Amino acid sequence: MPVIDVTLAEGREPEMLRGLIDALTEAAVDALDVPVESVRVILREVPRTHFAAGGVTIAERRARAQEEYS
């Protein structure tokens, strides 16, 4: 039973998340030759204030970008 665990910043539309689940499931079925019913997909949405790269959160990076374009 493949388990695909994805962590992403919150804020995407439900339709986009549904599309991601479908695409990941299809990829696992194709790549691993397993029944679709055996594929598990877990989406974990993290607040943008709790998701950082290089010590800068996504929220901070977005705020800085808006300041530059203002």
What are the residue numbers of the active site? 2
3-state SS record for the chain:
CCEEEEEEECCCCHHHHHHHHHHHHHHHHHHHCCCHHHCEEEEEEECHHHCEECCEEHHHHHHHHHHHCC
